[in-house]
A = this chain, B = another copy of it.
Amino acid sequence: MSYLTVLDILATMAFAVSGMLEALEKRMDTFGVFIIAFVTAVGGGTLRDILIGETPVFWMENLVVVYAIIITTILAIIFRKHLNRLRKSLVLFDTIGIGLYTVVGIQKGLLVDLHPIVCIALGTMSASFGGVIRDTLCNEIPVIFQKEIYATACVAGGVVYFGLSYFNLGNQWLVLISILTVILIRLLAVAFKISLPSLYKDN
């Protein structure tokens, strides 16, 4: 379990920063910023644990996660003027986060014997719903539903995960390659402004 926990924490810190930045943009107060950071960070994983009935949810029994969010948010608030310059690199944080969460979600689904398709859905929801909750609380239509290759990358990572599991790779390789698939697809999509084919040309 311990390396699942490490992945959880890394993803959590990345999401906390992304939540904090959106809350700052909405000019929330210190506590609003902190709560949005917290909810963004743990929202996807919390939903995942609730859906499969693994309660108390992960962050309640892993104080490391809670400390990581608190420290990340405090540091990020202190250095927020400098973060502003890093805003573009937020995409990278976020992308690593969704890669990690996708695979953690899949693995937690496997632990309770869910079908691969359901595991991929669970992984995708774990990865994307922190951001969905963040945008909803900030009174925006979730950005991932509109213009970005995001959930698509998660699903692709999940397909790679189960595709590779037919080969005799070690679990570490499975995890690593799947995470890198998510990250690669998302970064390529951002770099080359690739988006899904529009549904609206002909309307």
Contacts and interface: CB of A to CB of B under 8 A. Distances in A.
A202 B77 CA distance: 12
Contacts of A197: 30
A interface SS class: helix
A33 B199 contact: yes
A64 to B, nearest CB: 11
A146 B60 contact: no
A36 B136 CA distance: 13
Contacts of A29: 145-148, 195-196, 198-199
Identical chains in the assembly: 3
Contact of A114 (B46, B53, B56, B80): B56
Interface string A26-45: 11111111011010000000
Contacts of A147: 29
B137 A31 contact: no
A52 B63 contact: no
A63 B199 contact: no
Contacts of A15: none
Contact of A145 (B28, B109, B136, B196): B28
A157 to B, nearest CB: 14
Interface in A108-154: 109, 112, 114-115, 117-118, 121-122, 128, 132, 136-142, 144-148, 150-152
Nearest to A57: B51
A174 interface: no
Nearest to A84: B203
Contacts of A202: 81
B51 A196 contact: no
Given A28-B146, A50-B55, 14 more contacts: A23-B145, A29-B147, A29-B198, A30-B196, A31-B150, A31-B151, A46-B51, A51-B57, A60-B114, A63-B115, A66-B118, A137-B142, A139-B139, A139-B140
